[in-house]
Structure 1
Amino acid sequence: MPGHRGHGLHARDYERMLDLIVAVLEHDDPGSLWYLISGHLVDTLGLNTVVFAVADPARGRGKAQGWAPRSLGRDVSDVVQRRVRQHHPLVSYLAARALRPVTASELCDDWRDSPWYSEARRDYGTTQQLGVPVPAGDGTLRGLVLGRAGDFTDHELAFAARIQPLLITADRHARELRRLREAASPQAAPAVFPAVAVPRHDLTPRELTVLGLLAEGLTAAGIAHRLAISPHTVNRHLEKVYRKLGTNNRVSTVLSAQQAGIVSRARIFSHPADRG
Protein backbone atom coordinates (compact mmCIF):
# COMPACT_ATOMS: atom_id res chain seq x y z
CA MET A 1 0.00 0.00 0.00
CA PRO A 2 1.88 3.12 -1.14
CA GLY A 3 2.13 5.55 1.72
CA HIS A 4 2.19 8.67 -0.41
CA ARG A 5 -1.18 8.35 -2.08
CA GLY A 6 -2.75 10.90 0.24
CA HIS A 7 -0.29 13.60 -0.86
CA GLY A 8 0.32 15.64 -3.96
CA LEU A 9 -3.18 16.99 -4.58
CA HIS A 10 -3.43 20.46 -6.08
CA ALA A 11 -5.79 23.40 -5.71
CA ARG A 12 -7.55 22.35 -8.91
CA ASP A 13 -8.26 18.92 -7.40
CA TYR A 14 -10.03 20.51 -4.45
CA GLU A 15 -11.98 22.79 -6.78
CA ARG A 16 -13.21 19.70 -8.62
CA MET A 17 -14.17 18.05 -5.34
CA LEU A 18 -16.10 21.14 -4.31
CA ASP A 19 -17.85 21.25 -7.70
CA LEU A 20 -18.89 17.63 -7.22
CA ILE A 21 -20.10 18.21 -3.65
CA VAL A 22 -22.25 21.16 -4.72
CA ALA A 23 -23.67 19.22 -7.68
CA VAL A 24 -24.58 16.23 -5.48
CA LEU A 25 -26.25 18.32 -2.77
CA GLU A 26 -28.29 20.29 -5.30
CA HIS A 27 -29.40 17.21 -7.24
CA ASP A 28 -32.93 16.11 -6.33
CA ASP A 29 -33.30 12.95 -8.45
CA PRO A 30 -31.80 9.91 -6.67
CA GLY A 31 -32.31 7.78 -9.77
CA SER A 32 -29.83 9.79 -11.83
CA LEU A 33 -27.33 10.74 -9.13
CA TRP A 34 -24.66 8.27 -10.24
CA TYR A 35 -25.00 9.51 -13.81
CA LEU A 36 -24.20 13.00 -12.52
CA ILE A 37 -21.22 11.73 -10.52
CA SER A 38 -19.92 9.69 -13.44
CA GLY A 39 -19.87 12.76 -15.66
CA HIS A 40 -17.61 14.55 -13.20
CA LEU A 41 -15.31 11.54 -12.87
CA VAL A 42 -15.06 10.99 -16.63
CA ASP A 43 -13.94 14.59 -17.10
CA THR A 44 -11.61 14.68 -14.10
CA LEU A 45 -9.84 11.33 -14.57
CA GLY A 46 -10.14 10.88 -18.33
CA LEU A 47 -12.16 7.67 -17.99
CA ASN A 48 -13.54 5.36 -20.64
CA THR A 49 -16.17 3.84 -18.37
CA VAL A 50 -17.78 4.32 -14.98
CA VAL A 51 -19.82 1.48 -13.51
CA PHE A 52 -21.68 1.62 -10.20
CA ALA A 53 -22.25 -1.97 -9.17
CA VAL A 54 -24.17 -3.72 -6.41
CA ALA A 55 -23.24 -7.38 -6.02
CA ASP A 56 -24.47 -10.35 -3.99
CA PRO A 57 -21.74 -13.00 -4.40
CA ALA A 58 -23.56 -15.53 -2.22
CA ARG A 59 -26.34 -15.68 -4.83
CA GLY A 60 -24.12 -15.03 -7.82
CA ARG A 61 -26.09 -11.90 -8.63
CA GLY A 62 -25.32 -8.32 -9.42
CA LYS A 63 -26.83 -5.22 -10.91
CA ALA A 64 -25.26 -2.07 -12.18
CA GLN A 65 -25.53 1.25 -13.91
CA GLY A 66 -22.79 2.21 -16.32
CA TRP A 67 -21.69 5.06 -18.54
CA ALA A 68 -19.04 5.40 -21.23
CA PRO A 69 -19.74 8.32 -20.83
CA ARG A 70 -23.25 7.68 -22.18
CA SER A 71 -25.38 5.00 -20.59
CA LEU A 72 -24.23 1.43 -21.21
CA GLY A 73 -27.82 0.24 -20.82
CA ARG A 74 -29.02 -2.98 -19.24
CA ASP A 75 -26.13 -5.02 -20.67
CA VAL A 76 -23.80 -3.74 -17.97
CA SER A 77 -25.77 -5.62 -15.29
CA ASP A 78 -25.25 -8.82 -17.28
CA VAL A 79 -21.51 -8.10 -17.31
CA VAL A 80 -21.48 -7.54 -13.55
CA GLN A 81 -23.34 -10.79 -12.91
CA ARG A 82 -20.75 -12.63 -15.02
CA ARG A 83 -17.96 -10.97 -13.08
CA VAL A 84 -19.53 -12.11 -9.80
CA ARG A 85 -19.69 -15.70 -11.04
CA GLN A 86 -16.15 -15.49 -12.44
CA HIS A 87 -14.77 -14.12 -9.15
CA HIS A 88 -13.35 -10.97 -10.69
CA PRO A 89 -10.57 -9.70 -8.38
CA LEU A 90 -12.44 -6.49 -7.62
CA VAL A 91 -15.53 -8.48 -6.55
CA SER A 92 -13.36 -10.56 -4.21
CA TYR A 93 -11.80 -7.37 -2.88
CA LEU A 94 -15.22 -5.90 -2.08
CA ALA A 95 -16.28 -9.19 -0.48
CA ALA A 96 -13.30 -8.91 1.88
CA ARG A 97 -14.81 -5.60 3.09
CA ALA A 98 -11.65 -3.76 2.14
CA LEU A 99 -12.01 0.00 1.79
CA ARG A 100 -8.97 1.36 -0.03
CA PRO A 101 -9.40 2.22 -3.73
CA VAL A 102 -7.35 -0.34 -5.65
CA THR A 103 -6.48 -1.18 -9.25
CA ALA A 104 -7.22 -4.55 -10.83
CA SER A 105 -3.54 -5.08 -11.70
CA GLU A 106 -2.63 -4.59 -8.04
CA LEU A 107 -4.96 -7.45 -7.14
CA CYS A 108 -4.21 -9.68 -10.11
CA ASP A 109 -0.59 -10.33 -11.15
CA ASP A 110 -1.63 -11.64 -14.55
CA TRP A 111 -4.26 -8.93 -15.14
CA ARG A 112 -3.20 -8.28 -18.75
CA ASP A 113 -3.51 -11.98 -19.55
CA SER A 114 -6.94 -12.35 -17.97
CA PRO A 115 -10.26 -12.70 -19.84
CA TRP A 116 -11.60 -9.68 -17.92
CA TYR A 117 -8.85 -7.50 -19.38
CA SER A 118 -9.43 -8.81 -22.89
CA GLU A 119 -13.17 -8.18 -22.77
CA ALA A 120 -12.85 -4.70 -21.26
CA ARG A 121 -10.26 -3.70 -23.85
CA ARG A 122 -12.32 -5.12 -26.72
CA ASP A 123 -15.62 -3.54 -25.70
CA TYR A 124 -14.57 -0.21 -24.17
CA GLY A 125 -10.88 0.34 -24.88
CA THR A 126 -10.18 -0.10 -21.16
CA THR A 127 -6.79 -1.45 -20.08
CA GLN A 128 -6.95 -0.66 -16.37
CA GLN A 129 -9.74 -0.68 -13.78
CA LEU A 130 -9.89 1.08 -10.44
CA GLY A 131 -12.28 -0.19 -7.80
CA VAL A 132 -13.62 2.29 -5.24
CA PRO A 133 -15.60 0.55 -2.46
CA VAL A 134 -18.85 2.26 -1.43
CA PRO A 135 -19.89 0.26 1.67
CA ALA A 136 -23.51 0.52 2.74
CA GLY A 137 -23.74 -1.71 5.78
CA ASP A 138 -26.71 -3.63 4.35
CA GLY A 139 -24.96 -6.85 3.35
CA THR A 140 -24.49 -5.94 -0.31
CA LEU A 141 -21.20 -5.18 -1.99
CA ARG A 142 -21.32 -1.72 -3.53
CA GLY A 143 -18.64 0.07 -5.44
CA LEU A 144 -17.53 2.07 -8.44
CA VAL A 145 -15.39 0.52 -11.15
CA LEU A 146 -13.53 3.17 -13.11
CA GLY A 147 -12.06 2.10 -16.44
CA ARG A 148 -9.53 3.85 -18.63
CA ALA A 149 -6.84 3.30 -21.25
CA GLY A 150 -3.57 3.43 -19.34
CA ASP A 151 -2.64 3.12 -15.70
CA PHE A 152 -3.82 5.38 -12.89
CA THR A 153 -1.12 7.64 -11.46
CA ASP A 154 -0.44 8.01 -7.74
CA HIS A 155 -1.95 11.47 -8.00
CA GLU A 156 -5.19 10.05 -9.46
CA LEU A 157 -5.28 7.33 -6.81
CA ALA A 158 -4.92 10.01 -4.15
CA PHE A 159 -7.82 11.92 -5.70
CA ALA A 160 -9.98 8.78 -5.71
CA ALA A 161 -9.19 8.16 -2.04
CA ARG A 162 -10.11 11.73 -1.13
CA ILE A 163 -13.49 11.66 -2.87
CA GLN A 164 -14.41 8.18 -1.60
CA PRO A 165 -16.11 9.52 1.60
CA LEU A 166 -18.18 11.84 -0.60
CA LEU A 167 -19.24 8.90 -2.79
CA ILE A 168 -20.27 6.88 0.27
CA THR A 169 -22.29 9.79 1.64
CA ALA A 170 -23.87 10.51 -1.76
CA ASP A 171 -24.97 6.88 -2.04
CA ARG A 172 -26.61 6.94 1.38
CA HIS A 173 -28.22 10.30 0.59
CA ALA A 174 -29.70 8.94 -2.66
CA ARG A 175 -31.01 5.77 -1.01
CA GLU A 176 -32.61 7.68 1.86
CA LEU A 177 -34.14 10.27 -0.47
CA ARG A 178 -35.60 7.49 -2.61
CA ARG A 179 -36.93 5.64 0.46
CA LEU A 180 -38.52 8.77 1.89
CA ARG A 181 -40.27 9.48 -1.39
CA GLU A 182 -41.58 5.92 -1.56
CA ALA A 183 -42.59 5.77 2.13
CA ALA A 184 -45.93 7.44 1.54
CA SER A 185 -48.51 5.26 -0.16
CA PRO A 186 -49.95 6.40 -3.50
CA GLN A 187 -53.13 7.37 -1.60
CA ALA A 188 -51.23 9.55 0.87
CA ALA A 189 -52.09 13.20 0.75
CA PRO A 190 -50.12 15.31 0.51
CA ALA A 191 -47.22 13.58 -1.22
CA VAL A 192 -43.83 13.35 0.49
CA PHE A 193 -42.19 16.01 -1.67
CA PRO A 194 -44.71 17.81 -3.89
CA ALA A 195 -43.19 19.65 -6.82
CA VAL A 196 -44.18 23.03 -5.36
CA ALA A 197 -42.53 22.41 -1.99
CA VAL A 198 -38.92 23.10 -2.94
CA PRO A 199 -39.34 26.49 -4.64
CA ARG A 200 -41.87 27.61 -2.01
CA HIS A 201 -39.44 27.18 0.88
CA ASP A 202 -36.13 27.02 -1.04
CA LEU A 203 -35.15 23.76 0.66
CA THR A 204 -32.26 21.91 -0.96
CA PRO A 205 -32.50 18.15 -1.64
CA ARG A 206 -30.13 17.57 1.29
CA GLU A 207 -32.29 19.67 3.62
CA LEU A 208 -35.39 17.81 2.42
CA THR A 209 -33.72 14.49 3.22
CA VAL A 210 -32.76 15.66 6.72
CA LEU A 211 -36.26 17.06 7.26
CA GLY A 212 -37.85 13.80 6.11
CA LEU A 213 -35.76 11.79 8.57
CA LEU A 214 -36.56 14.29 11.32
CA ALA A 215 -40.26 13.76 10.59
CA GLU A 216 -39.71 10.00 11.03
CA GLY A 217 -38.58 10.66 14.59
CA LEU A 218 -34.81 10.34 14.18
CA THR A 219 -32.50 12.37 16.41
CA ALA A 220 -29.56 14.34 15.04
CA ALA A 221 -27.33 11.38 15.93
CA GLY A 222 -29.67 8.97 14.14
CA ILE A 223 -29.81 11.14 11.02
CA ALA A 224 -26.03 11.50 11.09
CA HIS A 225 -25.61 7.73 11.30
CA ARG A 226 -28.05 7.12 8.45
CA LEU A 227 -26.43 9.66 6.13
CA ALA A 228 -22.81 9.03 7.18
CA ILE A 229 -22.27 12.63 8.26
CA SER A 230 -21.54 14.25 11.61
CA PRO A 231 -24.26 15.37 14.08
CA HIS A 232 -22.78 18.86 13.78
CA THR A 233 -23.47 18.84 10.03
CA VAL A 234 -27.02 17.61 10.66
CA ASN A 235 -27.63 20.46 13.10
CA ARG A 236 -26.36 22.99 10.55
CA HIS A 237 -28.84 21.60 8.01
CA LEU A 238 -31.60 21.78 10.61
CA GLU A 239 -30.77 25.39 11.43
CA LYS A 240 -31.24 26.25 7.75
CA VAL A 241 -34.51 24.31 7.64
CA TYR A 242 -35.78 26.18 10.72
CA ARG A 243 -34.88 29.51 9.16
CA LYS A 244 -36.55 28.72 5.83
CA LEU A 245 -39.72 27.40 7.47
CA GLY A 246 -39.81 30.17 10.10
CA THR A 247 -39.69 27.72 13.03
CA ASN A 248 -37.37 27.29 16.01
CA ASN A 249 -37.70 23.68 17.20
CA ARG A 250 -38.19 20.19 15.86
CA VAL A 251 -41.84 19.74 16.75
CA SER A 252 -43.01 22.98 15.17
CA THR A 253 -40.79 22.29 12.15
CA VAL A 254 -42.33 18.88 11.48
CA LEU A 255 -45.86 20.24 12.00
CA SER A 256 -45.19 23.17 9.67
CA ALA A 257 -43.72 20.85 7.04
CA GLN A 258 -46.73 18.54 7.28
CA GLN A 259 -49.17 21.41 6.96
CA ALA A 260 -47.28 22.73 3.93
CA GLY A 261 -47.30 19.28 2.32
CA ILE A 262 -43.52 18.94 2.33
CA VAL A 263 -43.63 15.69 4.32
CA SER A 264 -46.40 13.18 4.80
CA ARG A 265 -48.50 13.24 7.96
CA ALA A 266 -48.15 9.47 8.21
CA ARG A 267 -44.51 8.64 8.81
CA ILE A 268 -43.10 5.13 9.09
CA PHE A 269 -40.86 4.51 12.11
CA SER A 270 -39.02 1.57 10.60
CA HIS A 271 -35.64 2.15 12.23
CA PRO A 272 -36.21 2.51 16.00
CA ALA A 273 -32.49 2.14 16.75
CA ASP A 274 -31.84 5.41 14.93
CA ARG A 275 -34.27 7.32 17.10
CA GLY A 276 -32.26 6.98 20.27
Structure 2
Amino acid sequence: MQLEARDYERILDLAVAVLENGDTDTSWHLITAHLLEAFDCHSATYTAGNVADGTGQAEGWAPERLSAHVGDLVQRRIRQRHPLFFYTSPLELRPPVNVSEICARWRHTEWYSEARRDFGAAYQMGLPLPGERGILRNIVLGRDADFTARELALAARLQPLLVGVANHVRELRRLRGGSLPGAVPAGHGLTPRELTVLGLLSEGLTTGAMARRLGISPHTVNRHLEKVYRKLGTDNRVSTVRVARRAGLVP
Protein backbone atom coordinates (compact mmCIF):
# COMPACT_ATOMS: atom_id res chain seq x y z
CA MET A 1 0.00 0.00 0.00
CA GLN A 2 1.47 3.35 -1.11
CA LEU A 3 1.73 5.90 1.66
CA GLU A 4 1.24 9.62 1.14
CA ALA A 5 3.78 12.37 1.76
CA ARG A 6 2.02 13.49 4.93
CA ASP A 7 2.30 9.94 6.32
CA TYR A 8 6.09 10.09 6.08
CA GLU A 9 6.00 13.54 7.70
CA ARG A 10 4.07 12.05 10.62
CA ILE A 11 6.61 9.25 11.00
CA LEU A 12 9.44 11.80 11.06
CA ASP A 13 7.59 14.09 13.49
CA LEU A 14 7.04 11.21 15.89
CA ALA A 15 10.67 10.09 15.70
CA VAL A 16 11.95 13.59 16.39
CA ALA A 17 9.54 14.13 19.29
CA VAL A 18 10.61 10.86 20.93
CA LEU A 19 14.34 11.48 20.54
CA GLU A 20 14.06 15.01 21.94
CA ASN A 21 12.07 13.89 24.98
CA GLY A 22 14.32 13.06 27.92
CA ASP A 23 11.53 12.17 30.38
CA THR A 24 10.74 8.44 30.23
CA ASP A 25 7.67 8.97 32.41
CA THR A 26 5.98 11.04 29.70
CA SER A 27 7.19 9.15 26.60
CA TRP A 28 4.03 7.12 26.04
CA HIS A 29 1.70 10.04 26.69
CA LEU A 30 3.63 11.95 24.02
CA ILE A 31 3.45 9.04 21.57
CA THR A 32 -0.26 8.34 22.06
CA ALA A 33 -1.02 12.03 21.55
CA HIS A 34 0.84 11.93 18.21
CA LEU A 35 -0.97 8.75 17.16
CA LEU A 36 -4.35 10.23 18.11
CA GLU A 37 -3.76 13.04 15.61
CA ALA A 38 -2.06 10.94 12.92
CA PHE A 39 -4.91 8.42 12.74
CA ASP A 40 -7.75 10.87 13.45
CA CYS A 41 -9.10 8.60 16.18
CA HIS A 42 -10.97 9.05 19.48
CA SER A 43 -8.61 7.18 21.79
CA ALA A 44 -5.09 5.80 21.98
CA THR A 45 -3.63 3.71 24.80
CA TYR A 46 -0.32 1.95 25.41
CA THR A 47 -0.40 -1.00 27.81
CA ALA A 48 2.04 -3.63 29.04
CA GLY A 49 0.88 -6.71 30.92
CA ASN A 50 2.07 -10.02 32.30
CA VAL A 51 -0.51 -12.69 31.50
CA ALA A 52 1.10 -15.21 33.85
CA ASP A 53 0.27 -13.21 36.97
CA GLY A 54 -2.46 -10.97 35.53
CA THR A 55 -0.63 -7.71 36.26
CA GLY A 56 0.37 -4.70 34.22
CA GLN A 57 -0.52 -1.10 33.58
CA ALA A 58 -1.49 1.49 31.02
CA GLU A 59 1.53 3.76 30.61
CA GLY A 60 0.17 6.21 28.09
CA TRP A 61 -3.16 7.43 26.82
CA ALA A 62 -4.78 10.23 24.87
CA PRO A 63 -6.90 12.23 25.25
CA GLU A 64 -6.24 12.98 28.91
CA ARG A 65 -9.88 12.36 29.90
CA LEU A 66 -9.24 8.61 29.50
CA SER A 67 -7.33 8.67 32.79
CA ALA A 68 -10.60 7.90 34.60
CA HIS A 69 -10.87 4.54 32.78
CA VAL A 70 -7.34 3.15 32.58
CA GLY A 71 -6.68 2.25 36.22
CA ASP A 72 -7.33 -1.49 35.87
CA LEU A 73 -7.36 -1.60 32.07
CA VAL A 74 -4.65 -4.27 31.67
CA GLN A 75 -6.04 -6.56 34.37
CA ARG A 76 -9.50 -6.19 32.84
CA ARG A 77 -8.26 -7.06 29.33
CA ILE A 78 -6.43 -10.12 30.65
CA ARG A 79 -9.45 -11.25 32.66
CA GLN A 80 -11.81 -10.75 29.71
CA ARG A 81 -9.28 -12.21 27.23
CA HIS A 82 -9.60 -9.19 24.97
CA PRO A 83 -8.85 -10.33 21.37
CA LEU A 84 -6.36 -7.54 20.62
CA PHE A 85 -4.43 -8.13 23.83
CA PHE A 86 -4.08 -11.84 23.11
CA TYR A 87 -3.30 -11.22 19.44
CA THR A 88 -0.08 -9.68 20.75
CA SER A 89 3.01 -11.89 21.08
CA PRO A 90 5.90 -11.15 23.47
CA LEU A 91 8.60 -11.96 20.90
CA GLU A 92 6.89 -12.22 17.48
CA LEU A 93 6.30 -9.11 15.36
CA ARG A 94 2.65 -9.42 14.33
CA PRO A 95 1.18 -6.81 11.96
CA PRO A 96 -1.32 -4.12 13.04
CA VAL A 97 -4.89 -5.39 12.76
CA ASN A 98 -8.51 -4.24 13.02
CA VAL A 99 -10.24 -6.03 15.88
CA SER A 100 -13.11 -6.90 13.54
CA GLU A 101 -10.66 -9.05 11.53
CA ILE A 102 -9.90 -11.33 14.48
CA CYS A 103 -13.25 -11.19 16.28
CA ALA A 104 -16.12 -12.06 13.93
CA ARG A 105 -18.93 -10.96 16.29
CA TRP A 106 -17.16 -7.89 17.63
CA ARG A 107 -20.31 -5.74 17.72
CA HIS A 108 -22.02 -8.29 19.98
CA THR A 109 -19.30 -8.57 22.64
CA GLU A 110 -18.75 -6.96 26.03
CA TRP A 111 -15.50 -5.49 24.67
CA TYR A 112 -17.46 -3.54 22.06
CA SER A 113 -19.87 -2.19 24.70
CA GLU A 114 -16.98 -1.23 26.97
CA ALA A 115 -15.15 0.53 24.13
CA ARG A 116 -18.22 2.62 23.31
CA ARG A 117 -18.96 3.40 26.96
CA ASP A 118 -15.48 4.24 28.26
CA PHE A 119 -13.55 5.31 25.18
CA GLY A 120 -16.24 6.64 22.85
CA ALA A 121 -14.97 4.36 20.09
CA ALA A 122 -16.75 1.35 18.63
CA TYR A 123 -13.88 -0.01 16.52
CA GLN A 124 -10.27 -0.65 17.47
CA MET A 125 -6.90 -1.28 15.85
CA GLY A 126 -4.15 -3.15 17.68
CA LEU A 127 -0.49 -2.37 17.15
CA PRO A 128 1.61 -5.07 18.88
CA LEU A 129 5.06 -4.22 20.25
CA PRO A 130 7.09 -7.39 20.97
CA GLY A 131 10.47 -7.43 22.63
CA GLU A 132 10.23 -8.61 26.23
CA ARG A 133 9.71 -12.23 27.22
CA GLY A 134 6.49 -12.78 29.16
CA ILE A 135 5.23 -9.21 28.64
CA LEU A 136 2.46 -8.29 26.20
CA ARG A 137 2.89 -4.71 24.99
CA ASN A 138 0.50 -3.07 22.57
CA ILE A 139 -1.06 0.15 21.42
CA VAL A 140 -4.81 0.23 20.83
CA LEU A 141 -6.40 2.98 18.75
CA GLY A 142 -10.15 3.48 18.76
CA ARG A 143 -12.74 5.32 16.67
CA ASP A 144 -16.20 4.88 15.08
CA ALA A 145 -15.11 3.02 11.92
CA ASP A 146 -12.54 0.41 10.95
CA PHE A 147 -9.08 1.67 10.03
CA THR A 148 -8.35 1.70 6.30
CA ALA A 149 -5.73 -0.32 4.44
CA ARG A 150 -3.58 2.82 4.12
CA GLU A 151 -3.80 3.47 7.86
CA LEU A 152 -2.86 -0.12 8.63
CA ALA A 153 0.12 0.30 6.28
CA LEU A 154 1.12 3.49 8.11
CA ALA A 155 0.87 1.66 11.44
CA ALA A 156 3.08 -1.11 10.03
CA ARG A 157 5.70 1.50 9.03
CA LEU A 158 5.54 3.04 12.52
CA GLN A 159 5.73 -0.33 14.27
CA PRO A 160 9.56 -0.82 14.16
CA LEU A 161 10.04 2.74 15.44
CA LEU A 162 7.63 2.14 18.31
CA VAL A 163 9.27 -1.20 19.18
CA GLY A 164 12.59 0.63 19.34
CA VAL A 165 11.05 3.32 21.56
CA ALA A 166 9.64 0.69 23.92
CA ASN A 167 13.04 -0.98 24.21
CA HIS A 168 14.77 2.38 24.63
CA VAL A 169 12.43 3.47 27.44
CA ARG A 170 12.76 0.10 29.19
CA GLU A 171 16.56 0.17 29.08
CA LEU A 172 16.82 3.81 30.13
CA ARG A 173 14.58 3.15 33.13
CA ARG A 174 16.59 0.08 34.06
CA LEU A 175 19.88 1.96 33.84
CA ARG A 176 18.57 4.88 35.85
CA GLY A 177 17.32 2.43 38.44
CA GLY A 178 20.92 1.29 38.69
CA SER A 179 22.02 4.72 39.96
CA LEU A 180 22.18 6.46 36.61
CA PRO A 181 21.18 10.08 37.20
CA GLY A 182 17.87 11.20 35.78
CA ALA A 183 19.51 14.07 33.93
CA VAL A 184 22.79 14.37 32.08
CA PRO A 185 25.30 16.61 33.90
CA ALA A 186 25.67 20.00 32.25
CA GLY A 187 28.38 20.41 29.66
CA HIS A 188 28.24 16.97 28.05
CA GLY A 189 25.10 17.49 25.95
CA LEU A 190 24.26 13.80 25.58
CA THR A 191 20.80 13.02 24.24
CA PRO A 192 18.60 10.42 26.00
CA ARG A 193 19.41 7.92 23.23
CA GLU A 194 23.15 8.53 23.53
CA LEU A 195 22.88 8.17 27.30
CA THR A 196 21.17 4.81 26.88
CA VAL A 197 23.89 3.59 24.49
CA LEU A 198 26.53 4.82 26.93
CA GLY A 199 24.91 2.88 29.76
CA LEU A 200 24.90 -0.33 27.73
CA LEU A 201 28.52 0.33 26.72
CA SER A 202 29.47 0.53 30.40
CA GLU A 203 27.96 -2.92 30.90
CA GLY A 204 30.35 -4.34 28.32
CA LEU A 205 27.79 -5.09 25.60
CA THR A 206 29.04 -5.46 22.04
CA THR A 207 27.68 -3.28 19.25
CA GLY A 208 25.53 -6.18 18.04
CA ALA A 209 24.15 -6.82 21.52
CA MET A 210 23.29 -3.14 21.99
CA ALA A 211 21.55 -3.11 18.61
CA ARG A 212 19.44 -6.15 19.55
CA ARG A 213 18.60 -4.72 22.97
CA LEU A 214 17.40 -1.41 21.51
CA GLY A 215 15.87 -2.77 18.31
CA ILE A 216 18.11 -0.72 16.02
CA SER A 217 20.89 -1.53 13.54
CA PRO A 218 24.59 -1.91 14.51
CA HIS A 219 25.32 0.96 12.11
CA THR A 220 22.99 3.21 14.11
CA VAL A 221 24.65 2.13 17.37
CA ASN A 222 28.04 3.06 15.94
CA ARG A 223 26.74 6.48 14.92
CA HIS A 224 25.55 7.07 18.50
CA LEU A 225 28.89 5.89 19.87
CA GLU A 226 30.78 8.28 17.58
CA LYS A 227 28.72 11.18 18.95
CA VAL A 228 29.29 10.02 22.53
CA TYR A 229 33.07 9.85 21.92
CA ARG A 230 33.06 13.33 20.42
CA LYS A 231 31.05 14.87 23.25
CA LEU A 232 33.13 13.22 25.97
CA GLY A 233 36.44 13.87 24.18
CA THR A 234 37.39 10.19 23.93
CA ASP A 235 38.22 7.79 21.11
CA ASN A 236 37.64 4.27 22.46
CA ARG A 237 35.33 2.26 24.68
CA VAL A 238 37.58 1.92 27.72
CA SER A 239 38.41 5.62 28.03
CA THR A 240 34.76 6.55 27.34
CA VAL A 241 33.47 4.38 30.19
CA ARG A 242 36.21 5.72 32.50
CA VAL A 243 35.28 9.36 31.73
CA ALA A 244 31.56 8.60 32.02
CA ARG A 245 31.99 7.00 35.43
CA ARG A 246 34.13 9.86 36.68
CA ALA A 247 31.45 12.33 35.50
CA GLY A 248 28.66 10.33 37.14
CA LEU A 249 26.98 9.48 33.85
CA VAL A 250 26.97 5.73 34.51
CA PRO A 251 27.09 3.67 37.73
Q: Is it true that 1:152 corresponds to 2:142 in the alignment? A: no
Which of 203, 224, 234 pairs up with 1:237? 224
**Helix, strand or coil: the match of 1:64?**
strand
C-alpha separation in 2, matches of 1:231 and 1:183: 25
The aligned amino acid for 2:120 is G
After superposition, the C-alpha distances for 1:106-152 in whole angstroms (9 at most, x for unaligned) are 11111111111111112221011111111123211111111112221
Displacement after TM superposition at 1:196 (Å)? 5.4
Instruction: Specify the alignment match of 2:107 in structure 1.
Output: 112
Q: How does 1:104-253 map to 2 (within 5 A)?
A: 104-184=99-179, 192-193=180-181, 195=183, 197=185, 199-253=186-240
Displacement after TM superposition at 1:75 (Å)? 3.9
Which structure is larger by alpha-carbon Rg, 1 or 2? Answer: 1
CA contact (8 A) 2:47 2:74 kept: yes
CA contact (8 A) 2:89 2:128 kept: no
After superposition, the C-alpha distances for 1:70-89 in whole angstroms (9 at most, x for unaligned) are 16337414133122111111
Deviates more, 1:55-64 or 1:230-239: 55-64
**Helix, strand or coil: the match of 2:187?**
helix
CA contact (8 A) 2:184 2:190 kept: no
Which of 38, 44, 48 pairs up with 2:42? 48
C-alpha separation in 2, matches of 1:194 and 1:99: 33
Q: TM-score, normalised by structure 1?
A: 0.85
CA contact (8 A) 1:95 1:141 kept: yes
Which of 61, 72, 81 pairs up with 1:67? 61
**Helix, strand or coil: the match of 2:26?**
helix
After superposition, the C-alpha distances for 1:245-275 in whole angstroms (9 at most, x for unaligned) are 11111111111112222222xxxxxxxxxxx
Unaligned runs of 5+ in 2: none
Identity, % of aligned pairs?
56
Detail structure 1 runs of 4+ shifted over 6 Å in the superposition. Answer: none
**Helix, strand or coil: the match of 2:168?**
helix
C-alpha separation in 1, matches of 2:194 and 2:184: 15
Displacement after TM superposition at 1:194 (Å)? 6.0
CA contact (8 A) 1:194 1:262 kept: no
Deviates more, 1:33-42 or 1:7-16: 7-16
Instruction: Specify the alignment match of 2:17 in structure 1.
Output: 23
C-alpha separation in 2, matches of 1:47 and 1:68: 10
- CA, structure 1 residues 68+21, in 2 after alignment: closer, same or farther (shift >3 Å)? closer
**Helix, strand or coil: the match of 2:66?**
coil
Q: TM-score, normalised by structure 2?
A: 0.93
After superposition, the C-alpha distances for 1:55-81 in whole angstroms (9 at most, x for unaligned) are 223333342234231163374141331
C-alpha separation in 2, matches of 1:250 and 1:258: 12
**Helix, strand or coil: the match of 2:142?**
strand
C-alpha separation in 1, matches of 2:49 and 2:184: 37
RMSD value, Cα: 1.8
- CA, structure 1 residues 99+247, in 2 after alignment: closer, same or farther (shift >3 Å)? same
- CA, structure 1 residues 230+10, in 2 after alignment: closer, same or farther (shift >3 Å)? same
